[in-house]
């Protein structure tokens, strides 16, 4: 990157609107349900999640990072312009980029693919997501030019992610097996439920065994 080149992150307005509207709506109903809960304690179970999501949305909105790259520095500011952190580009030792995808199928509404870029230094680690900025490719090029990509850490992330999936499949299979084993009275239904749950258990064990050891 040229010394006097200046790049500023282009935020995705839709993210800001979601956080803003979500923060206002969830907080409003959370407070409203909490007041109602003084009379009906059962509503408290509804008000707490609403308040949690409302406060979380406001927190992420306030902490939404604006990135500025120039004079060999990465400057991180808040959405309101306050300087939060400054990183010399020379301090970035290496980076990795993880391609991610949510659990929805490609033909389903809400299916998403994105990339997470993580910068590593001696005493810091900083992550940038392609879901946050329109000019993510430009930011990536400026921040990683001349830096080494750490593919080993990417493989390690994949290993851990598959391991967590394996644990999830195993637990889900066991729960389904126990649940249907208890509620089912018919022998054929029990056998069918055992066969169904065993698929999750077997696949879970397979993923755990395959990914329990780190890449060498």
Q: Which of 104, 101, 128, 133 is nearest to 117 (CA)?
A: 128
* Residue 151: predicted pLDDT: 93
Give the pairing type, strands 94-101 and 113-120.
antiparallel
| The pLDDT of residue 113 | 87
Q: What is the pLDDT of residue 206?
A: 93
Cα–Cα distance, 53 to 42 (Å, whole number): 19
User: pTM value?
Assistant: 0.74
Q: What pLDDT shows up at residue 106?
A: 61
DSSP-derived pairing of the beta strands 66-70 and 7-8: antiparallel
Q: What is the pLDDT of residue 45?
A: 67
Which of 133, 149, 146 is closest to 68 using CA atoms?
A: 133
- pLDDT tens readout for residues 128-173: 999 999 999 999 999 999 999 999 999 999 999 999 999 999 999 9
pLDDT score of 47? 77
**What pLDDT is recorded for position 100?**
87
pLDDT at 192: 79
Q: What is the pLDDT of residue 214?
A: 52
Between the alpha carbon of residue 79 and those of residues 11, 60, 84, 128, 196, the distances in Å are: 10, 10, 10, 15, 49
Q: If the chain, 216 residues long, is cut into consecutive pieces of 10 residues, what is the mean pLDDT of each piece?
A: 76 94 93 73 69 92 95 93 93 94 63 90 94 96 94 92 93 86 72 84 93 65
Task: Decide: 61 and 81 in contact? Cβ < 8 Å.
Answer: no
């Amino acid at each position: 990157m040229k010394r006097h080149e200046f790049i500023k992150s282009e935020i995705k307005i839709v993210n800001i609107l979601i956080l803003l509207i979500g923060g206002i709506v969830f907080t409003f109903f959370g407070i409203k349900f909490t007041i109602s809960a003084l009379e009906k304690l059962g509503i408290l179970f509804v008000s707490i999640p609403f308040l949690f999501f409302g406060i979380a949305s406001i927190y992420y909105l306030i902490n939404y990072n604006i990135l500025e790259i120039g004079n060999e520095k990465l400057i991180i500011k808040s959405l309101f312009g306050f300087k939060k952190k400054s990183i010399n580009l020379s301090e970035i030792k290496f980076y990795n980029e993880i391609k991610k995808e949510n659990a929805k199928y490609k033909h389903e509404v809400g299916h998403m693919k994105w990339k997470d870029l993580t910068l590593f230094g001696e005493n810091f680690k900083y992550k940038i997501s392609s879901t946050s900025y329109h000019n993510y490719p430009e930011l990536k090029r400026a921040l990683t030019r001349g830096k080494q990509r750490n593919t080993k850490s990417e493989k390690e992330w994949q290993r851990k992610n598959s391991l967590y999936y394996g644990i999830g499949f195993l637990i889900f299979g066991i729960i389904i097996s126990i649940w249907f084993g208890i509620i089912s009275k018919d022998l054929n239904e029990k056998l069918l439920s055992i066969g169904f749950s065993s698929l999750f258990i077997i696949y879970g064990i397979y993923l755990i065994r395959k990914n329990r050891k780190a890449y060498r």
